[in-house]
Structure 1
């Protein structure tokens, strides 16, 4: 019985060790490191994750005086003890992430939520797996890559002008054109999204993984229109490609680039300031245009909207006074384990902002799970497109 208990402890320590390296992987993938170096680093860390349990069970469990063979933990060499302590802390960190996932609740500023499941294979009645990178993953059992959640969320925002009550924003992110999922998949999703007739459309980055797919814009994002315009930023995967050409092509199709400077939009007697950030991969954070006294100055913005590829800039956006932040990048973790939730998420915050709605003060962050990924694998984490409806706060209504 004691050997079984010690074996369970060794398993827990192995899991804790793996969690520590996963934390490193998550945070290094949030940095502006070239893709080739990231892959090498990840392969090395994954090797550590695999080898450590073998070393642990052999050295601590079986080697004299192994705890699986009647030995005690106090008999272990001194240098093993800090290693095992750190592994135990890693396991506690995993438990914390799991509890945070289990007890996640949208903030009170999100007042409505609806979701429609779109089965793309049945809808198009064809094979949607192409010949792009990692195409074999798309056919794995239980993969939900072709089951897309069209979510509708309503936010009640304190600074929203009364004349904008009911304003709708279509939030798209992480299309990852690579040829792995066929063109028809994205054409149909964009068509479905356009049918909602949003007031404003925002794309939050990661468009191209293979430059040969750039012409897919002609019948995906290209035809999309909205009364207040279509706006975009690029992401880290675009940075790994020919980002300038991607940017120019999107602009040619009528989309507005938010990466260079904030865009002031006049609507229903009020000013909406849209800004974008592609930091840390490209450019700098935008400077909000504040009103000053005098002729010829910029009007004061009634509402501030930030599009940030990564949710890592949420706290910065709160300090800057943004009302709404739209992000992607993390894909919701792509694979979620029962009870534990997401494990891998390329963010300085780990899985904290993997997907969903979050709020600090009067600032709301919406993180999309995205549509695709270079690895076409989704378990318990469906792809997502979102229609966001903005409502005036109850206080303004009463006033």
Structure 2
């Protein structure tokens, strides 16, 4: 029984580290090949290490205090115990309080709506429940701010991480956009990772151009866009009506009042009007598929 519990905890903890490394490497400006190699190495090492730990656990009368002469078994055993701690303590705490960390006193109301897309499968296998690939969540958040005129009804749409090509189901993206393009927004912000394959840039204009806005659509690129011909990504975003910012900033006005701050003010008042993050400024938030 003890072996089964520890084996489950070790496995969960180990793959938490795999996901963490995956996200960390892919968020940095490293060559994609390096990230792929690191991830593959960790996964392969992990399977070998997990097998060794499982074998060691079965052969050892006392898992926690068994002495070892060789260093390698001790290293694997220590890693396994640390993975158990992560899975049993840190992982549940993170899942329970992840949303609470993002709350802000400026938040007035938040409503989440969930949509399922025809019960599709991930990679043609019935494992979509593992990552909710075809579950769409739209979060509508109302915030208060002193930077706008009284009774203003500024409506912002934030979209991100479409990854065209990672999922080659065009009908799914039509479904996603159909949930949001019925309304007219004051501003639209796209914050990166448009494509995983440049051949899918042909989807950009028919899908994103139909999003209606009163005052403009703005976009920045993500790491996946930089790996897939960033100049072409910007070209297609502009065709869809977006202003592409690359190491740039622009000032926008709403109801006769300029929105935003001078660059030095980000350092003086980094948390003044934030919603999503306590560690730095983040004004654009809350829609992601």
- Give TM-score, length-normalised by structure 1: 0.60
Distance 2:229 2:35 in 1: 18
Per the TM alignment, residue 17 of structure 1 is displaced from its structure 2 partner at its CA by 4.7
Alignment length, in residue pairs? Answer: 283
- Does the 8 Å contact 1:179/1:213 carry over to 2? no
Task: Report the counterpart of residue 276 of structure 2 in structure 1.
Answer: 358
- Does the 8 Å contact 1:187/1:219 carry over to 2? no
Per the TM alignment, residue 8 of structure 1 is displaced from its structure 2 partner at its CA by 4.1
Distance 2:90 2:233 in 1: 40
- Structure 2: which 5+ runs fail to align? none
- Does the 8 Å contact 2:27/2:223 carry over to 1? no
Task: Report the counterpart of residue 91 of structure 2 in structure 1.
Answer: 97
The SS at the match of 1:154 is strand
- What's the RMSD between the two structures over aligned residues? 3.5
Task: Write 1 or 2 for the structure with the bigger share of helix.
Answer: 2
The SS at the match of 1:263 is coil
Task: Report the counterpart of residue 210 of structure 1 in structure 2.
Answer: 197
Q: Deviations over 1:85-120 (max 9, x none)?
A: 454334333422321321342333222111233344
Distance 1:320 1:135 in 2: 46
Per the TM alignment, residue 219 of structure 1 is displaced from its structure 2 partner at its CA by 1.5
Per the TM alignment, residue 57 of structure 1 is displaced from its structure 2 partner at its CA by 2.9
The SS at the match of 1:73 is coil
Distance 1:54 1:273 in 2: 54
Distance 1:203 1:223 in 2: 14
- Give TM-score, length-normalised by structure 2: 0.80
Task: Report the counterpart of residue 49 of structure 2 in structure 1.
Answer: 52
The SS at the match of 2:225 is helix
Call closer, same or farther: CA 1:7–1:182 in 2, change over 3 Å.
closer
- Does the 8 Å contact 2:138/2:287 carry over to 1? no
- Does the 8 Å contact 2:164/2:196 carry over to 1? yes
Distance 2:162 2:67 in 1: 54
Task: Report the counterpart of residue 65 of structure 2 in structure 1.
Answer: 73
Do residues 42 (structure 1) and 35 (structure 2) align? Answer: no
Which of 116, 124, 128 pairs up with 1:136?
124
Distance 2:188 2:117 in 1: 22
